[in-house]
């Protein structure tokens, strides 16, 4: 039977779920940068630098005077260095509210940290990279994480800084991929990480099928074929779990406990797989909305600041 006929015979709801996730995982989503550090009383510089493979990345450098400590922020898919304009038409599919990372940066800046926040490839205003394909939720973007480290080590104000990584969702996956595939770039200056809602692709597909009342196994099988047709990756490759053992720095994980988009046993498996001798997990309560997790540290900065102050 041809693939066209196979797709035609799938329930329409299954086709819609598969295609929406497949296109998202393939392409990500560019979104506008609506806020700037100056709106929060922080001086900043617009910066650009190459990824490890040469893709031009755009970002901000937010200096803290006399600081020897730097936080590099890696954002989720669909987001950018600022956050996500979920309150605007066309971007309202994840709850209909804004995600704003600037309060995170303000809290860290006030605590004495300089910050590099940048747009991953194919997001924000960074260049298209890897043919416009996002790949295995972090496989290609790992090169961007390495590029940010190389930039920080060359910049006069930050070249001798201790570094903490604030890595969210796909930015978290990308960091795990980078630590796994490019370990030589992670030296003694990398002191700590916060891993906010790192995730496996299969967790979205399986929970999406359950939410829609679809056969989970059939949906996963069909999605695996579709994502392979679009990207060359298999669904089993869209997970950081087998790579998480390569994370050895002190790591704080955070996740919305009742996230309606995934089964959070996936988060627990990622956490359990970390090799970090110092690790902890925050379960974010009183919400089912995944994107509330991205605003968590903006509203509750204490644990974030405490973690980085202790280890960076």
Over residues 260-272, the pLDDT tens digits come to 999 999 999 999 9
13, containing H or E segment: helix 12-27
DSSP assigned state of 298: H
Dist CA 264 CA 273 (whole Å): 14
Query: How far is residue 58's CA from residue 27's CA, in Å, rounded to a whole number?
Result: 18
Please compute the mean of the pLDDT values over residues 274-303 and round it to a whole number.
99
How large is the average pLDDT for residues 43-57? 99
Q: What is the pLDDT of residues 91-125, one digit of tens each?
A: 999 999 999 999 999 999 999 999 999 999 999 99
Q: Answer yes or no: is pLDDT of 240 > 90.
A: yes
Judge contact between 74 and 171, C-beta under 8 A: yes
Q: In this structure, what are the phi and psi dihedrals at residue 4, rounded to the nearest 5 degrees?
A: -65, -45
Instruction: Compute, in degrees rounded to 10, the torsion defined by CA atoms 187, 191, 197, 199.
Output: 20
**CA of 99: how far to CAs of 14, 110, 124, 295, 303, in Å?**
29, 20, 14, 6, 19
- Ranges 5-14, 168-177, 214-223: which has the least confidence: 5-14
3-state DSSP assignment of residue 189: coil
pLDDT of residue 2: 38
Please give the span between the terminal C-alpha atoms of the chain, in angstroms, as a whole number.
57
Instruction: Please answer whether residues 14 and 214 qualify as being in contact, where contact means their C-beta atoms are separated by less than 8 angstroms.
Output: yes
Query: What are 15-31's pLDDT values in tens digits?
Result: 999 999 999 999 888 99
pLDDT band at 4, cuts 50/70/90? very low
Q: Is 115 exposed, middle or buried (0-12, 13-18, 19+ CB in 10 A)?
A: buried
Q: Which residues is 142 bridged to in the sheet?
A: none
d(CA 240, CA 228): 18
pLDDT classification of 9: cutoffs 50, 70, 90: low
């Amino acid at each position: 039977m041809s693939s066209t006929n196979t797709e035609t015979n799938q329930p329409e709801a299954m086709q819609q779920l598969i295609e929406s996730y497949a296109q998202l995982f393939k392409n990500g989503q560019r979104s506008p940068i609506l806020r700037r550090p100056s709106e929060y009383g922080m001086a900043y510089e617009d910066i650009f630098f190459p990824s490890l493979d040469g893709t031009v990345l755009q970002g901000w450098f937010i200096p803290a005077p006399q600081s020897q400590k730097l936080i590099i922020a890696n954002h989720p898919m669909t987001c950018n260095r600022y956050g996500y304009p979920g309150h605007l038409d066309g971007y309202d599919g994840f709850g209909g509210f804004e995600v704003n990372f600037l309060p995170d940066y303000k809290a860290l800046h006030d605590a004495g940290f300089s910050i590099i926040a940048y747009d991953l490839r194919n997001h924000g205003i960074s260049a298209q990279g890897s043919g416009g394909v996002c790949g295995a939720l972090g496989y290609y973007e790992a090169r961007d994480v390495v590029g940010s480290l190389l930039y920080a080590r060359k910049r006069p104000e930050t070249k001798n800084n201790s570094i903490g990584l604030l890595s969210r969702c796909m930015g978290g996956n990308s960091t795990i991929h980078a630590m796994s595939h490019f370990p030589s770039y992670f030296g003694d200056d990398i002191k700590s990480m916060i891993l906010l809602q790192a995730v496996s692709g299969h967790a979205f597909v399986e929970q999406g099928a359950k939410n829609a009342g679809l056969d989970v196994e059939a949906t996963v099988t069909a999605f695996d074929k579709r994502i392979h047709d679009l990207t060359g990756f298999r669904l089993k490759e869209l997970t950081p779990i087998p790579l998480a053992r390569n994370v050895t720095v002190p790591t704080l994980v955070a996740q919305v406990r009742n996230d309606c988009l995934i089964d959070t046993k996936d988060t627990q498996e990622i956490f359990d797989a970390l090799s970090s001798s110092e690790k902890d997990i925050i379960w974010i309560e009183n919400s089912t909305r995944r994107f509330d997790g991205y605003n968590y540290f903006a509203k509750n900065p204490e644990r974030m600041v405490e973690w980085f102050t202790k280890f960076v």
